[in-house]
Amino acid sequence: MTSPADEPTPPEGVPDRVATDLPELTPEELRNTIIYAQELLQFHDETASPIEPGPNEDIIRATERDGYTEVVKLASCAQGCDDCPHGPYLYHVKQESRPEGGTKARWMFLGEVYPDEE
């Protein structure tokens, strides 16, 4: 039989409530929890991001906020120029319902991001 001193330590980043609850589960409950967690991981990996770079764009950062996604991206001219890429620029992106059904991302330009703002 194992003692509490032998109990594994949760890795960094595990929420306290999860770290507290898991040791209380039976082996069968732990197995079911693992299966559920794996299904959630697969679901999150399969969910397509609504934020996709356009032609000649590179997304530097996309941060989910309440009601919108904050996006910082670089843009290059179609023909190219000595100053390319341009930016980085800050956008707020919201998903809007379309009358014909579905949704579309609406990009709202907020301005250039300066190095000391990052």
pLDDT digits (tens, 9 = 90+) for 46-105: 555 668 888 888 888 888 888 899 999 999 887 768 888 889 999 999 989 888 888 888
**Residue 111 pLDDT:** 94
Kindly report the pTM of this predicted structure.
0.55
Q: How many CB atoms lie within 10 A of CB 88?
A: 20
**Residue 112 pLDDT:** 93
Contacts for 97 with CB less than 8 Å, ≥ 6 apart: 103
Q: What's the rounded Cα separation, in Å, for the pair 107 and 51?
A: 10
CA distances from 7 to 19, 22, 29, 67, 104 (A): 12, 11, 17, 41, 49
**Residue 118 pLDDT:** 52
Query: Regarding predicted confidence, which is higher, 47 or 24?
Result: 24
